[in-house]
Amino acid sequence: MQHLFHIVPEAQWLDVVDTYRPDSLLTEGFVHCSFADQVAGAADRHYRLVEDLVVVELDPHAIGSEIRVEDSTGSGRAYPHVYGPIPRRAAVAVHALQRDGSGHYLFSPAGRLP
């Protein structure tokens, strides 16, 4: 399976010590992720008014929990969902999430942060 990408406020990711457990894991039973080509669209739909976001690139083989690619909203688009906590060691990179002149998010896996 290809790498997964998770959008998160930078401060929230920096607080993770060993294991990442976002609120969605408790409320929905899974962690929302995207494939690289889905990141910008997901950020525009769900985080339009949020600043200081980063995109954490995850190695699916290091996650250790079930991963399902599914359309959970009936939108016709299938996204990867992680059904369990994510170990911090599964993160292989943290990427910048920038906006264009009209406020839409832009994403490229090549835009890694130091």
pLDDT at 109: 83
Closest CA to 30 of 54, 63, 62, 53: 63
> At a CB cut-off of 8 Å and minimum separation 6, what does 73 contact?
none
Does the domain at residues 4-102 carry the CATH identifier 3.40.50.720?
A: no
Taking only the tens place, the pLDDT of each residue in 34-81 is 999 999 999 999 999 998 999 999 999 999 999 999 998 888 889 999
The pTM for the full model equals 0.92
Q: Is the pLDDT of residue 32 over 70?
A: yes
